[in-house]
Structure 1
Amino acid sequence: MTLAKSLLAAATALLVVGALSACTNAVTPGVRPSHDPQTAKIGLLLPDSVTARYENADKPYFEAELKALCPGCKLLYANADGDASKQQQQAESMLAQGVSVLVLDPFDSQAAASIAVEAKSDGIPVISYDRLVHSKHLDYYISFDNEKVGRLQAQALVDKLKASGAGRGDHGILMLNGSPTDNNAALFKKGAHSVIDASGYTLLAEYDTPAWDPAKAQDWVTGQITQYGDRIDGIYAANDVLAGAAIASLKAADVTPLRPVIGQDAELAAVQRILAGDQYMTVYKAIQPEAEKAAQLAVALTRSEHPRADTTVSVGGAKIASFLLNVTPVTAADVEGSVVKDKFYGPDTTAKICAGDYKAACAQHGIG
């Protein structure tokens, strides 16, 4: 054999070996790649920075539980900042980095379905966290009973109006709903409507707030104050960020006395407003158990374990194994026994609530 032919044969052999090696290392769609559960990468995708709980509670609680359960595991974290396209890119980046599990809190429940499909094709399990992804390609869903949240909010508002004798004649309620792309917002709205529609009180107007944007919410409420004035007797706000926006509008328009406004999430600023008398109620959702449960499920999935769920939720024609945690309504009388008792804002919860101008309000309610 000539030297040229020998070199050609050797090169051909190398190409064949390389091709076989590439085939051997390829990931078969729908088949989970082999990962070491002791050093697994876990992806956590959160939806926005507007809602304080995500950075202040969900992420640190999840991270702490993950570290306790699997010290060698690595957390890959990203926040979509209210951008569905950005969240898609973040998910793809995590999949490319070799995550073993994706924990996904979708900014847009419909758009995020493509993330679940892509993860499924790579054999990567997905936990839908807090908000339901509209996809059958989920391994678990963990959240709260979100219709119940809406019912509790609306019932608190209706009871307050009845107690004060307000909301009659041509007076009524404004509904400031959450983002139309958020499945939870639809559930809050459904639960709230089930109470308000049967209450006998007039629904003056309602608004689905794009991306939970407080600026848009405040502009809308300001417009309703111009239109309805003193006919507004109460405001349903889907969360505490929107409640704060509604209260800002009422104050800017010198509406006195302030109308009862309800929210949810028990954000620090909301609890301070409640003690000061600016906001009537919130809904306390114990985020620590939710985040810790998500971390526990993620670690279990890296070990090919599938813990039994409490219930199922139907989506995309499939029944998804689910955990739906309980929620608690909180007015000024309930702050001590809920967020303070649970140290919701950390070991210095009382100090945070009662800081500055809120010291007197805390003393008035026996906190401090």
Structure 2
Amino acid sequence: MNAIMRRALTGAMALSLAAPLAACGSEQQDAGAGKDSIGLLLPESKAARYEKFDRRIISSRIASLCLECKLDYHNAEQKVDAQKRQFDALVDKGVKVIILDPVDAAAVKGWVDSAAKKGVKVIAYDRLAEGDVAAYVSYDNEKIGRLQGQGILAALGSQAAASDVVMMNGSPTDPNAPSYKKGAHAVLDGKVRKIIYEKSIPDWSAKAAKKEMTDVINAEGPEGFDAVYSANDGMAGGIAAALKSAGLKNVPLGGQDAELPALQRLVAGTQSFTIYKEVRPEAETAAEIAFRLLRGKSIKSLTSTTADNSSKTGIPATLFKAQIVTRKNMKDTVVRDGTVRTDLLCAGDLAAACKSLDLE
């Protein structure tokens, strides 16, 4: 088959199969370039949401908005140098709009500024990248931290003022982590007796969080703390494992992301709450902003506020609201919205607990 025939066949297939291919594609080596291409760079795959939700929703939304558009997707697997190569490759191809969730928000500044000078529009997604970004789509991260703090206080109840709390904060390279920390402190400081230990966990590592928690238990003793703040559910899993190994039960523990293992811990009673950030509105909004920027259209109606990074002010932004999920409201939040299937949530020895929560 000659090159002309291959191009004709490829064009015909793209028209009939664009939506399903966009919805289920993985890393694409040659997704096209120029006026009909949008880049998507996600930071890692340890958090289930990125591959399971963000990528698929963004792909599907772009396909529904623009039949001829191509999505050039790559995942950096938590490696800054890999993400830089992926970013540079998109720019070299001539991609003019890139949705970027940075591994390290500060490290990308030079890339973003250089790309902007070439007319590339970068949408900071979920994490606010440094540099000359064109738009920002995320959640109000300080408010999420406040929700987490409120969750800890609610779990401690009347004993809060006499309680000592351990804080495991997010990765030092994630620009959202300081906001979560700030919001949590704003609620907890003065409402609990003391924050007895606090540590930022590199790469949001569950393994590192488990080790830190084990060290705290060994240093402070099993009665030396009353609750544990975890910035996300992945780390909460490691912390819960450390608590279990030490024979500790009923220690209030909170997380974030509403991942399946965390929701199962809620059912089992080994995690007190998580924070539910519905991915669909965030991902679909990012996709629509990308499409509008690609076509030179206004994004004003999609960006109701602004954000500032260290080098640019007044970045058009959309910040969504999150909510606390506990055992009591799981049915009316994550289950109702289809974020989790009850057959998976209630698998194995969780069936009886699910029945008591009316989650069957």
Please tell me the TM-score bracket, short chain as reference.
0.7 to 0.9
CA contact (8 A) 2:335 2:342 kept: yes
Matched, 1:186 2:173: no
Q: Is the 8 A contact 1:251 1:258 kept in 2?
A: no
The 8 Å contact of residues 229 and 255 in structure 2, kept in 1 or not, is answered as: yes
Aligned 1:246-265 pairs, distance under 5 A: 246-255=239-248, 257-265=249-257
CA contact (8 A) 1:233 1:259 kept: yes
* Deviation of 1:198 (Å): 2.5
Residue 101 (structure 1) shift: 0.6
Whichever residue aligns with residue 68 of structure 1, its letter is: S
Displacement of 1:166 in angstroms is 5.7
CA distance in 2, matches of 1:354, 1:162: 28
Name the CA distance, whole Å, in 2 between partners of 1:106 and 1:290: 16
Mapped contact 2:112–2:130 kept (Cα < 8 A): no
Structure 2 matches for 1:87-102, cutoff 5 A? 87-102=83-98
Percent identity over the alignment is 39
Q: Report whether the alignment pairs 1:161 with 2:156.
A: yes
Structure 2 letter corresponding to 1:134? E
Q: Which residue of 2 aligns with 1:275?
A: 267
- Looking at structure 1, the residues matched to 47 and 308 of structure 2 have their Cα atoms a distance apart, in angstroms, of 27
Please tell me whether the aligned partners of residues 167 and 173 of structure 1 are also in contact (alpha carbons under 8 angstroms).
Answer: no
Displacement of 1:314: 1.5
Deviation at 1:35, TM superposition (A): 4.0
2:318 is matched by which residue type in structure 1? Answer: F
2:317 is aligned with 1:325? no
Which residue does the alignment assign to 1:177? 169
Residue aligned with 1:182, SS: coil
Q: CA deviation at 1:280?
A: 0.2
Q: Equivalent of 2:230, from 219, 226, 237? A: 237
**1:215 corresponding residue in structure 2:** 207
Structure showing greater radius of gyration is 1
| Corresponding residue of 1:20 | none
Query: Number of aligned pairs?
Result: 324
Asked if 1:79 is matched to 2:71, the reply is no
CA offsets, 1:102-144, max 9 Å, x none? Answer: 0000110100112211220221101000000122x11110000
Cα contact 1:35–1:302 (8 A) shared by 2: no
Tell me, in whole angstroms, the C-alpha distance in 2 between the residues paired with 1:216 and 1:200: 25
State the secondary structure of the residue aligned to 2:94.
Answer: coil
Report if the CA contact (8 A) 2:168-2:229 is conserved: yes
SS across alignment from 1:318: coil
CA root-mean-square deviation: 1.4
Distance 2:195 2:166 in 1: 6
What are the within-5 Å matches in structure 2 for residues 356-367 of structure 1?
A: 356-367=348-359
Aligned to 1:332, what secondary structure does the other structure show? coil
**Distance apart, 1:201 and its partner CA:** 2.2
Task: Using structure 1 for the length normalisation, give the TM-score.
Answer: 0.85
- Distance in 2 between residues matched to 1:115 and 1:143, nearest whole Å: 21
2:296 paired residue number? 304
Determine the C-alpha separation between the residues in 2 that align with 1:222 and 1:306: 52
Which consecutive unaligned segments of at least 5 residues does structure 1 have? 1-33
Residue in structure 1 matching 2:283, options 288, 291, 302: 291
SS for the counterpart of 2:318 is strand
Structure 2 match to 1:46: 42
Contact between 1:281 and 1:329, CA under 8 Å: does it hold in 2?
A: yes
**Alignment pair present for 1:114 and 2:110:** yes
Whole-Å separation in 2 of the counterparts to 1:178 and 1:134 = 18
Which letter maps to 1:312?
Answer: T
For 1:326-345, what per-residue CA distance to the aligned partner results, in whole angstroms no more than 9, with x for missing partners?
Answer: 11111001100111111014
Structure 1 residue corresponding to 2:335, chosen from 332, 335, 340: 340
Contact 2:164 2:192 in 1 (8 A): no
**Aligned residue for 2:196?**
204
| Structure 2 gap ranges (5+) | 1-32
Alignment of 1:20-59 (within 5 A): 35-36=34-35, 40-59=36-55
The list of structure 1 runs, each at least 4 consecutive aligned residues, that deviate by more than 3 angstroms after superposition, is none
Partner of 1:4: none
SS of residue in 2 equivalent to 1:321: strand
* Alpha-carbon distance, 1:350 to partner: 1.9
- The one-letter code of the counterpart of 1:327 is A
Aligned partner of residue 314 in structure 2, secondary structure: strand
The answer as to whether partners of 1:314 and 1:320 remain within 8 angstroms in 2 is yes
Alignment of 1:7-18 (within 5 A): none
- Tell me, in whole angstroms, the C-alpha distance in 1 between the residues paired with 2:334 and 2:160: 30
